[in-house]
Amino acid sequence: MEGRPVSTPVIAVLLGGTSSEREISLGSGRACALALARSFPTCEIDVTADAVPAGLDPARQVVFSTLHGGFGENGGMQRALEAAGIEYAGCGVAASALTIDKTQTKAAVAAAGVQVSPGLAFTAERKPAAAALAAQLPGPLVLKPNDQGSSVGLYMIDGSAALEAALREVQAGNWLVEQRITGRELSVGVLHGRAMGVVEIRPKSGVYDYSSKYTKGLTEYLAPAPLGDALTRTVQQAAETAFAACGCRDYARVDFMLGLENIPFFLEINPLPGMKETSLLPMSACCAGMDFTALVREMVGPALQRFQTVAALLRP
């Protein structure tokens, strides 16, 4: 029943969703719900449609979303929650809509002074010829969807034959091709605008694709990354700059490739990253001395404050 806001809301953890990353989201949501329940009244809601789940009460609940991809991450769910007057943790509508688009995100981050790799965005219906693309972007390339998870539909391209083969696979959607940066892959969690620890990702295959990300034993993680204090701070500052440039709030994860001259090249920012205890954002927090339970408590904290501010304004 809707009415005057309660003093202690229930944390409604949204999980599942309709995207191709549903199973990953279910794992993230269950882990977060278990951790949040140690500090707050908590419930789980399995999202099966692109809409605000029925029964959510803005006077009694705050949403903690673990939805990955699609409507859950592109600003759609955030917009729907705001229209329903429901407070939620994480990035708002504008930042969510921006960060799902890799090309627009790169432009915003580059304008703030962070290095990005040269690239070209195109639709499947108007994909460029391989020869023209190679002339514009010489060298090894990376081809990936412009508006999905970075490990979904990822092609590492060396040479004209591989480029032609990859382009033949492009049948639908929006795509981004970039010059490939050779170096070390890094990930940084940002909490309340401040970077936490830097994690180095070392896939045994050499490519951090879907299989390397989600198959146990195929990737080594170094947390913290062995970079030295000065370089670590350089990467952290780049992460904080990217977070601010995209208008993010509360938390996000920022990924980089560290080039041969120790220059961090921005890859992407994920406002709703994987949230199992062994995921990259929790690893980053662990480097800063924060365990999983403390991390999710901090992640939901600003949303609870926003809820309480509204509640105070509505009190007689």
Contacts of 200 (CB under 8 A, 6+ apart): 184, 185, 186, 221, 222, 223, 225, 226, 227
**Which is catalytic among the residues 29, 76, 153, 274?**
274
3-state secondary structure 12-45: EEEEECCCCCHHHHHHHHHHHHHHHCCCCCEEEE
How many CA within 13 A on the CB side of residue 266?
33
- Residue 117 among the catalytic residues: no
**Which is catalytic among the residues 117, 212, 270, 284?**
270
- Residue 19 among the catalytic residues: no
Closest by Cα among 49, 51, 75, 52 to 63: 52
**Which is catalytic among the residues 253, 279, 284, 297?**
253
**Which is catalytic among the residues 79, 214, 240, 306?**
214
- Residue 255 among the catalytic residues: yes
**Which is catalytic among the residues 16, 17, 19, 21?**
21
- Residue 214 among the catalytic residues: yes
Residue with tokens 């390339």: 141
- Residue 274 among the catalytic residues: yes
- Residue 25 among the catalytic residues: no
Residue 197: both structure tokens together:
């620890």
- Residue 268 among the catalytic residues: yes
Asked if 188 contacts 235 with a C-beta cutoff of 8 angstroms, the reply is yes
Beta strand 194-203 pairing with 184-191: antiparallel
Q: How far apart are CA 77 and CA 12, in angstroms?
A: 14
- Residue 150 among the catalytic residues: yes
**Which is catalytic among the residues 87, 147, 250, 268?**
268
**Which is catalytic among the residues 74, 117, 150, 187?**
150
**Which is catalytic among the residues 73, 209, 250, 255?**
255
Alpha carbon separation from 6 to 1, 41, 44, 85, 243 (Å, rounded): 11, 12, 19, 14, 32
Question: Among all residues, which ones are annotated catalytic?
Answer: 21, 150, 214, 253, 255, 268, 270, 274
